[in-house]
Structure 1
């Protein structure tokens, strides 16, 4: 059996990204957090100022025997817009940047090849601006951010932004949805 791996993804608001990946078969844990900034133990309020350098992210633990990193990246690139620099929809700021934060050299190589493939195939109408960086200075988000969509499905933002991303995942990747 392959050993569990960790990858961290930033695709805008972590509520949305978390909501999608909680439904993915082979993902064993999803945690909203902040990474690649300069401040220790940043708060949501501090990250929202854009002054800490952190991205809002989800830390995914996954079983590579059930889901590959490539499949995770395919989902990620369907449920967010990787061509928007420092924003996703109405969420604007460096904390909402698109990013892949790897934890092993093999993940870096696979993600780099995947990004090159997207560019070569001109998958998107504009260039992909997703940053590819080693994971650093990761901190879990506050408890009230964890499982936010699951706990607040009728909250306005969840209904308007997160729910359509979850629906898109379900439609596009039905075979990868948890039973």
Structure 2
């Protein structure tokens, strides 16, 4: 019996997000792609309105959506609008794509916890967007930093302490 679940997030360039999530306890698979935009079958060169997103497949017996969000808010700056590191534009926005009311509630609670922590200079700008369709990115973008270990990333664990 397969009990796996999927979560959908965006927080800047998808390469760095994938590289850090792939090794998290309970995460069984990751895939980079495009989500939340205007066109079908988006590509790296044509994805208007889409965020560079991450599909996380996880075992809910080993981790939870809330624990994934806890890590998400520690590996990117959720207070910047349409920007992470050198990457600027709506493709690089911080977003959580919730699939149901429970995920939306968990995301709202995590945002409040992150804001209350005062770890960041600003307030969380992460958007909550209903899940629509996740479009897998081209093969050259999958597992990019595994294949290119010196490739660009602006993601790293900024806080080792958990929010929850």
Q: TM-score, normalized by length of structure 1?
A: 0.83
Shift of 1:2: 8.8
> Does the CA contact (< 8 Å) of 2:15 and 2:144 recur in 1?
yes
Q: CA deviation at 1:64?
A: 1.3
Aligned 8 A contact 2:3 2:60 in 1? yes
CA RMSD of aligned residues (A): 1.9
Aligned positions, number: 161
Confirm whether residue 66 of structure 1 aligns to residue 62 of structure 2. yes
Q: Which of 167, 172, 177 is 2:160 aligned to?
A: 172
SS of 2:96's partner is strand
Contact (CA 8 Å) 2:73, 2:114: kept in 1 or not? no
Distance in 2 (alpha carbons) for counterparts of 1:172 and 1:113: 20
Aligned to 2:36: 36
- Please, which of 116, 119, 125 is the counterpart of residue 123 of structure 1? 119
Q: Which residue of structure 2 aligns with residue 177 of structure 1?
A: none
The CA deviation string for residues 102-160 of structure 1, in whole angstroms up to 9 with x for no partner, is 122211111111112222343321011000111113200001100000011023x25xx
2:107 aligned counterpart, secondary structure: helix
- TM-score normalised by length of structure 2: 0.90
Other-structure match for 2:133: 137
In the alignment, structure 1 segments of 5+ residues that lack a partner are 174-179
Match of 2:96 in 1: 100
Counterpart among 97, 105, 110 of residue 109 in structure 1: 105
CA distance in 2, matches of 1:122, 1:22: 28
* 1:16-71 CA distance string (max 9 Å, x none): 00000111110111000000101000110113xxxx11000000111111012222
Kept in 2: contact 1:103–1:134 (CA 8 A) = yes
CA contact (8 A) 2:26 2:58 kept: yes
Q: Match for residue 9 of structure 2?
A: 9
Match of 1:40, SS? coil
* Aligned partner of residue 101 in structure 1, secondary structure: strand
More helix by share: 1
Deviant stretches of 4+, over 4 Å: none
